[in-house]
Amino acid sequence: MPKTIYLTTPLYYVNAAPHIGHSYTEVAADCLARYRRLKGEPVFLLTGTDEHGQKIAQAAEAAGEAPQAFADRVVSQFLGLWKTLHIAYDDFIRTTEARHIQAVQAILAKLHAEGSLTRAAYQGWYCTPDETFWTEAELGADALRGGRPICPACRRPLEPAKEEGWYLKLRAAQPWLKAFVKDHPDFVRPQSRHNEMSSLLEQPLPEYLCITRPKSRVSWGIEVPFSPDHVVYVWVDALLNYITVPGYPGDPGRFANLWPADVHFIGKDILRHHAVYWPILLHALGMSDEQMPRTIFAHGWWKIGEQKMSKSLGNIVDPSVVVGQLLKGQPHAADAYRYFLLREIPFGQDGTFSEEALMKRLESDLANDLGNLVNRACSMIERYSEGRIPPEAPVGCAVDDEPLRQAALGLAGAVEQAMDQVEFSTALEAVMRVVTQANQYVEAVAPWKLAKAQETARLHGVLHVLAEVIRIVAILLSPFMPSVADAMWRQLGCRGERRLADAARWGGLAPGQAIGPHPVLFPRESPGTTSIFPRSS
């Protein structure tokens, strides 16, 4: 049995409602999962929420609620948004679930029993929003000169902290990790992040990672089984989800089928946790090099102007407002939003979110190009072929179809190549290039003139070519825009499952097949007028 493709997203904190940044990682992971399923591979997509720690406890307190009740409320917003955005995950883990808590405690007990943990105290600085402890060595002398240092990751002020707790050796594992990263160019992607990790590993890591928090300071967490005065550090708790859900340590059979993760999708803000702490933790659990995650893909940031969009900066855009209000009136609003996220910026780079950019993509790529192609092709099949897929043109009657036919036939390969590199925008660009070419083909052959001249065989041949191109495009767009692909499929009168292999073949449509009703995919009437920046300054 082939190993299941195992893809993960971060577990998002439930201190506030999801924003565009969270939806970006989620849509990207869902898109790759759908693509691999389209290829016929077994896939397991895991997502969920990170619910413990000081940050959540403080947010709950500010809202006047108990942490669990507060988490339950925010989780329902995440679940609602994932449904709206067509996220087809296979499991959703909440770190407050018993299945996770028990497995985390078993893992901690194992590390303790094997002598991998040391009890000690040391002094440093704590970033509460990031839940990250920084040693003075990591901050450097310059940062400490001006009094209260700021967090190197998020640039917010740090609190002095002395941690008495349980520690995992970091520096002792550094030579192994350094060699591992060097030997595995795909371990961290894109290349710029790989370089960042390699240079980080040139400097000595802190000697230890404190993996517990004193209950006296943070009570909202998983109790450490052998040290009841402590809870598990929220980052260790959350990272472990990637192995607790696949069945570690209780279900070795299931674990062997899922682990290692094929891609951990994350944003670049949490690269250090994933590319340093996580492999060292797995290494401490006795996992071999072959059992390390295959790829940690750290994508870029969505910004508003020059600033990262973030809950604490208060400049967030709520995706449900974008989909429900700004794109109101669009039957495929969620898909238009998914398309924008994946097409607008190369995966891995930063980008700026703006209402204008979103509307431009909707109008030009989706309404004018894709929607127009599908609509005009279906309307002409209705008018000139009694609403049925016409037969192919007789040999010799269709020389000028060849460039479009070849471009459409080469598309699956181009998409496959891009998706193997997790380059969503390159894949979409390739598909949209063929859509543009098909529209140009319609203009050039002018089927309405063929109808007037009663060149029926040629006319039918042209419409057949267009229908085939649309079939291929529908298959290849389905990971990106699942509801649009379903609609295109129905409009062509197709019923069966879509499979990637069928996009590389010509002639998938049966002549005579009745097409379905074909409402416009992206209507041009004015969408909602609500601003999507309710909370920006």
- Closer by beta carbon to ligand ME8, 236 or else 466: 236
**Quick check: 336 binds ligand ME8 (CB under 6 A)?**
no
d(C-alpha 120, C-alpha 372), whole Å: 67
Q: Rule CB under 6 A: say whether 11 interacts with ligand ME8.
A: yes
In three state form, how does the secondary structure of 452-494 look?
A: HCCCHHHHHHHHHHHHHHHHHHHHHHCCCCHHHHHHHHHHCCC
Angle (nearest 5°) at CA 325 between 320 and 331: 90
User: Is 267 a residue that touches ligand ME8 (CB under 6 A)?
Assistant: yes
Q: How far is the CB of 22 from ligand ME8 (least distance, A)?
A: 5
Supply angle C-alpha 159, 12, 75, rounded to 5: 115
Alpha-carbon distance 100 to 97, whole Å? 6
CA distance 134 to 130: 11
- Work out whether 21 is an interface residue with ligand ME8 (CB under 6 A): yes
- 270 lies in the binding site for ligand ME8 (CB under 6 A): yes
Nearest approach, Cβ of 419 to ligand ME8 (angstroms)? 19
Tell me how many residues contact ligand ME8 (CB under 6 A).
20
Of the candidates 120, 152, 149, 112, the one whose C-alpha atom is nearest the C-alpha of residue 236 is 112
Which range touches ligand ME8 (CB under 6 A), out of 33-41, 255-263, 304-312, 514-522? 304-312
Q: What is the CA radius of gyration of the chain?
A: 26
Nearer to ligand ME8, 350 or 420 (CB): 350
Find the part of the chain contacting ligand ME8 (CB under 6 A) among 16-24, 86-94, 282-290, 444-452.
16-24
Q: Does 342 bind ligand ME8 (CB under 6 A)?
A: no
Nearer of residues 10 and 371 to ligand ME8, judged by Cβ: 10
Q: Which of 27, 31, 32, 50 binds ligand ME8 (CB under 6 A)?
A: 50
- Phi and psi angles of residue 12, each rounded to the nearest 5 degrees, phi first: -75, 145
310 interacts with ligand ME8 by CB under 6 A:
yes
Strand order in the sheet with 307-308: 307-308, 302-304, 351-352
**Which residue lies nearer to ligand ME8 by CB, 304 or 488?**
304
From candidates 5, 6, 22, 458, binder to ligand ME8 by CB under 6 A: 22
What is the rounded distance in angstroms from the CA atom of residue 297 to the CA atom of residue 267?
Answer: 8
Interatomic CA distance for residues 403 and 437, integer angstroms: 9
Is 374 a binding residue for ligand ME8 by CB under 6 A? The answer is no
Q: Which is nearer to ligand ME8, 10 or 493 (CB)?
A: 10
We find the least distance from the C-beta atom of residue 299 to ligand ME8, in angstroms, to be 7
- Quickly list H helices, 87-211: 98-113, 136-145, 174-183, 191-200
Q: Which residue has the tokens 């896939």?
A: 43
Residues forming contacts to ligand ME8 in the complex (CB under 6 A) are 10-13, 21-22, 24-25, 50, 238-239, 266-267, 269-270, 301-302, 308-310
